[in-house]
Each structure stands twice: as structure tokens, then as C-alpha cells.
Amino acid sequence: MKKNNKFIFGNWKMNMTYNEVSAFSKTFNKLTRKDKILKKTNIQYGVAPTFLSILPARSMLKSNVIVGAQNAAGIEKGAYTSQISYSQLKEFDINYVILGHSEVRQYLHESDTMINAKALKLLDNKMIPIICIGESLAEYKKKKTIAVLEKQLVADCANISPQLASQVIIAYEPIWAIGTGITPTINEIKTTCNKIRKILVNIFGKAGNSVRILYGGSLKPENALDILSLNNVDGGLIGGASMKAESLYKIITSCPEYIRVKKQNEK
């Protein structure tokens, strides 16, 4: 996985019925199939549906669309009612898993220790953890953002070897920006993601530069270009805007690489 290629990933949360997934897939496939510019880029993109919709999405979407999961148990099998194992996902070639989303931390009470254990298990099985970090509104107002993020990163990445750093994706989502329509300023996103990069280098050494950093939190077509053009923003984790095929497609085509290839093609 090359860090300099943007990674755009939709988190559908507890949304999208079978019929909605079908409608989304038809439209999204049509948009991407006819896009000759997109085919010339190395942009990676995909979605994380509900567990019920993972396999339908996998069969309906084109093969180059990554289909991932919103969470996974870090245990292979056993008496864990309601859980889905990482090994059950891998069996169906579902290799990207979101870990530690703020809603999972809040509602399911998952700790950094649990998130780290899951990340290690995924990496051991050649799967990709997308580890979410972010600060609350109270922490943001008290200017504790960096301290909170550093604490999460150190705990969530514990015992991950520098050799596996390039297989780790970090998604920075300020909790107060998720689903609110409120987005940090471009300068705030830039400053925070630059700090995250420094923390990752402190954790992994030079290998920290190979970790992808995604931004999430009210990322939409209207602000995608400005955010995705920042040096230490390697892509986006998209919520509401990813549930409409046209909207997700517009975000993908806002990637600097897409715009650059398009301009070259017009010459």
C-alpha cells in the first residue's frame, strides 16, 4: 500500500437497507465504470457497510471497490454472542476493519487496550486496521486535542512493529465534528494532522511516515479538495456523504491526484 495514493473510505454505520445498497451500487458502478480518468489514478476507495450488507455490497460493487467492516472481534471463534470474528471476515476477503470509532468507544465501551489487541490480531493475519482517534468538544475547548490524540495513539499502536507500520491506517475524527456539519478550519486540520505525523514518527521511527492518516468528520464534496490537498492528509473516512453514490464519487474525484491526471489528459 503506497501512502502517497489517497484512500477514501465510507463508513455507513447502521444505515443502508439491502435495496438501498443495491441502488447505491448500480449508480456508483455506473459513475466509476465510465470514468477513464479514475482508471488512470491509484486512488483507493471503498465502504464499510453493516455486517448484514457486507456480502451483498461485495457482490454488487465492482471488484476494485474495497468492502470493509465497521468492527471485528479480536478472537477467532467461541461463545461470544453477537460478535463477528476477524477470521470470519477474512474468509470472505474482507480485510479492512474500522477500529475504535468514537461511537464504539462510547456505546460499546471499547478501551484503547481492546482496540490495540484487535489491531495486533488483524495485522498478524495480514488485515488492515483503520484506527480512529479523536477528541471531544470539551477537550477541544480546553486545548487538550494533541494530548488526547497522543495518549490514544501510543496505546492503540502499542507493540506494533515498525515493519508493519505501513499496514496501519489512522483516522482522525474530532468527535465534535462527526455528523454535526461543523468542520475544523483547514488550518486546524493541517496543524493537527502534522502533529499526528510527528507522534507516529516518535512511535515507529521513520516508518511512522508510511502510516496513512485519514481525516473524518463532516467531510463532504464541498470541502473535500481543500482537506485532501493537505500534506499529511492521506485520504478521508466519510460518514453521511458516503451513503449517496454521487456524493462519494465527487469526493473521490476531488483528490489532487485525480485533478492532476485530468489536467494532463486535457493537454
**Catalytic residue selected from 20, 109, 173, 222:** 173
101 assigned to active site: yes
SS3 155: helix
- Cβ neighbours of residue 95 under 8 Å, at least 6 residues apart? 68, 89, 126, 127, 128
**Catalytic residue selected from 101, 109, 110, 135:** 101
Strand order from edge to edge, sheet including 169-172: 66-67, 44-48, 7-11, 235-238, 212-216, 169-172, 128-133, 96-99
- Four-point Cα dihedral 150, 154, 157, 162, nearest 10: 100
> Helix, strand, coil: what percent of the chain each, to 5?
50, 15, 35
Residue 124's identity, in one-letter code, is D
SS3 46: strand
173 assigned to active site: yes
Active site amino acids: 101, 173
